[in-house]
Amino acid sequence: GAGVSQSPSNKVTEKGKDVELRCDPISGHTALYWYRQSLGQGLEFLIYFQGNSAPDKSGLPSDRFSAERTGGSVSTLTIQRTQQEDSAVYLCASSSLGQGVETQYFGPGTRLLVL
Amino acid sequence: AQSVTQLDSQVPVFEEAPVELRCNYSSSVSVYLFWYVQYPNQGLQLLLKYLSGSTLVKGINGFEAEFNKSQTSFHLRKPSVHISDTAEYFCAAYSGGYQKVTFGTGTKLQVIP
Q: Are the CB atoms for A48 and A33 separated by under 8 Å?
A: yes
Q: Which residue of A has its CA nearest to B35?
A: A103
What is chain B's mean pLDDT, rounded?
A: 91
CA distance B7 to chain A (A): 12
Does the A5-114 domain belong in CATH 2.60.40.10? yes
The residue ranges of every structural domain in chain A are 5-114
* Chain A CA closest to residue B30: A101
Looking at residue B99, its pLDDT comes to 64
Contact, A80 vs B14, CB < 8 A? no
User: How far away is chain B from the Cα of A31, in angstroms, using its nearest Cα?
Assistant: 12
Residue numbers in B near A109 (CB within 8 A): 43
Is 60 exceeded by the pLDDT of residue A1? no
pLDDT tens figures, B27-61? 766 788 999 999 987 889 999 999 888 899 999 99
Say yes or no for a CB contact (<8 Å) between B101 and A109.
no
CA distance A48 to chain B (A): 8
Kindly indicate whether the domain formed by B3-112 is annotated with CATH number 3.40.309.10.
no
What pLDDT was estimated at residue A41? 73
Q: A-B interface: how many C-beta pairs under 8 angstroms? A: 57
- pLDDT tens digits for A2-49? 899 999 999 999 999 999 999 999 999 999 999 999 876 778 889 989
Cβ atoms within 10 Å of B55's Cβ, excluding its own: 12
> Could you read off the pLDDT of A54-68 as tens digits, one per residue?
887 888 999 999 999
Instruction: Give the long-range contacts of residues A10-16, CB within 8 A, separation 24 or more.
Output: A10/A110, A10/A111, A10/A113, A11/A110, A11/A111, A11/A112, A11/A113, A12/A113, A12/A115, A13/A82, A13/A112, A13/A113, A13/A114, A13/A115, A14/A82, A14/A114, A14/A115, A15/A82, A15/A83, A15/A84, A15/A114, A15/A115, A16/A81, A16/A82
Are the beta carbons of B94 and A104 closer than 8 angstroms?
no
Strands (E), B51-101: 56-58, 64-68, 73-78, 87-94
CB-based contact A55 B49, cutoff 8 Å:
no
- Collapse the DSSP code of A4 into the 3-class scheme (helix H, G, I; strand E, B; otherwise coil) and give the result: coil
Pairwise pLDDT comparison (B82 vs B2), residue with the higher score: B82
Q: Where are the domains of chain B?
A: 3-112
Question: Which of A42, A45, A55 is facing B98, going by the closest CB pair?
Answer: A55
- Tell me the pLDDT band of A107, cut-offs 50, 70 and 90: very high
Residues A101, B98: C-beta atoms closer than 8 Å: no
Please judge whether A100 and B32 are an interchain contact, meaning their C-beta atoms are less than 8 angstroms apart. Answer: yes
CB contact under 8 A, B49 and A101: yes
